Amino acid sequence: FIKIDCERKDINIIRGAIETIGKYKPIIAFEGDEGDSESAKKILDAFNYKIESIAGETDWIAVPNSKKN
């Protein structure tokens, strides 16, 4: 599990964690506006993740499809 809260830099952390994400497929919680979630979706689609809002329009969770029930 990775929780990211970096004052609007969350998408940069996701970009920097590509190798870890590809290897371990962690669940990822992050904040950001809808544009950030779209950017994250583009990156995480390659790893077969689904992104969903968990609290309003700023908190998101990304779950690899292999871990969904």
Q: Would you call 57 exposed, middle or buried from its count of C-beta atoms within 10 A (0-12, 13-18, 19+)?
A: exposed
**CA 58 and chain centroid, separation:** 12
Q: Check residue 19 and give its pLDDT.
A: 95
Output the pTM of the full model.
0.85
At 1-33, the pLDDT tens digits run 999 988 778 889 999 999 999 999 999 999 887
Parallel, antiparallel or unpaired: strands 59-64 and 28-31: antiparallel
